[in-house]
Amino acid sequence: MASGPLRVVCFVNQFFGQLGGEEKAGVGPQVTDGAVGAARAVQQVLGEAGTVVATVICGDNYTAEQGERAVAELLALVAAARPDLVIAGPAFLAGRYGVACGALCAAVQAKLKIPAVTGMQAENPGVDLYRRQVYIVQTGAEATRMLAEVKRLIALGLKLARGEAIGAPAVEGYFARGVTRNVVTGATAADRATAMLLDKLAGRPFASEVPRPAFPSVPAPRLVKTLEGATIALVTDGGLVPRGNPDGIEALNATRYGAYSIEGKAGLEAAQYDNPHRGYDTSWVKQDPHRLVPVDVARDLEQSGAIGKLHETVYSTVGVATTLAHSARMGQEIAEKLRAAGVDAVILTST
């Protein structure tokens, strides 16, 4: 964490870098010493607290079309200037610019471990894409109140660079990132709950402390073949692993899954399997793994022709305290493998 005057690098697009308008949107990454264009407002607000040592500029079309390659190139220019803090934008309502600012800030944080901050208007697509990873200060649609907004941007940036505690979104002026952080409040949860219930009973407004979840709906695929012609795979999040857990699937917060062959097997022999899952008492499924993954019944159904084929690989992970992000990723990877193998449908056992 830095103290004393900070080295700051600013990122701006072709317009705010004073290279030109849309006709210059294709210019590639370049850097100028000191504060250029809109970066001068940043320097003005920074005052003694820091120096804009370089301004990195890139055209909006270049960043939009080149994507990751542009970010990598910009990252190199930023790194060369050895900043303590990176300030991108503000991008207001300019979509390509906002997305570029978000992407660059995310990369600066992740790869260079340098604090970064940007600003844009609520409907800029960069907000939804990057709000979770990057502090994005809320601005207006145009540069009319830019000075005031840059002040908020700098104030937040300085806190990040100095390792100071960041306040709530409403206080600091950034978009809620959808992350949670434990704080100590003034009253116990029991007292807060009693007060909240009395408000609810009286019809007074109350502020729930947890936002309602919103999961996108997934269209339900249709099984095109008949069951007699279909290949069915078995998947589980109940933690079935071969003895010794060769893939090292974690007992909690799993980030890995395993692919286990049942080719030629009529069933699962208990002695060959184990179960590290910590979210339920696994003794019953260790005693008989079919209570979790019904290979025996599925084989019978395959033999009788009720289903066309039982897929020879069982996919398994441990579903306790698994993050949404990892769950979605693992599900996607498993689905892709199954589809590539010609599987038509999946029976997933969950505990």
Which residue lies nearer to other proteins by CB, 106 or 232? 232
Which CB atom, from 165 or from 340, has the smaller least distance to other proteins? 165
- The H or E element that residue 192 is part of is helix 189-202
As measured in angstroms, the least distance from the Cβ of 196 to other proteins is: 5
Residue of 346, 329, 222, 227 lying closest to 294 (CA atoms): 346
153 in Cβ contact with 86 (< 8 Å): no
161 with 1: CB under 8 angstroms? yes
Cα–Cα distance, 108 to 85 (Å, whole number) = 9
Q: Is the peptide bond before 115 cis (omega within 30 degrees of 0)?
A: no
Phi-psi category of 211—alpha, beta or left, where left has phi over 0 and alpha has psi -120 to 50? beta
Closest distance of CB 14 from other proteins, Å: 33
Least Å from the CB of residue 168 to other proteins = 6
Q: How far is the CB of 237 from other proteins (least distance, A)?
A: 11
Spatial distance between the Cα atoms of 181 and 165, rounded to a whole number of angstroms:
11
CB 259 within 8 A of CB 313: yes
Nearer to other proteins, 15 or 175 (CB): 175
Separation of CA 346 from chain center: 27
Rank residues 25 and 240 by Cβ distance to other proteins and give the closer one: 240
Nearer to other proteins by Cβ, of 76 and 187: the residue is: 187
Q: Which strands make up the sheet holding 116-120, listed edge to edge?
A: 30-33, 50-58, 6-13, 85-88, 116-120, 135-138
Residue 219 Cβ, how far from other proteins at the closest point, in Å?
8
60, 103 Cβ separation under 8 angstroms: no
Q: How far apart are CA 12 and CA 172, in angstroms?
A: 23
Least distance between other proteins and beta carbon 200 (Å): 5
Nearest approach in angstroms of CB 230 to other proteins is 8
By the 8 A CB rule, do 152 and 173 touch?
A: yes
CA distance linking residue 106 with residue 132, whole number of Å: 10
- Pick between residue 21 and residue 219 the one whose CB is nearest to other proteins: 219
Residue 44 or 351: the one with the smaller Cβ distance to other proteins is 351
CB of 23 to other proteins, least distance (A): 41
Instruction: Output 3 or 208, the one with its CB closest to other proteins.
Output: 208
Nearer Cβ to other proteins (121/236): 236
Kindly state the smallest distance separating residue 193's Cβ from other proteins, in Å: 4
Element (H, E) at 53: strand 50-58
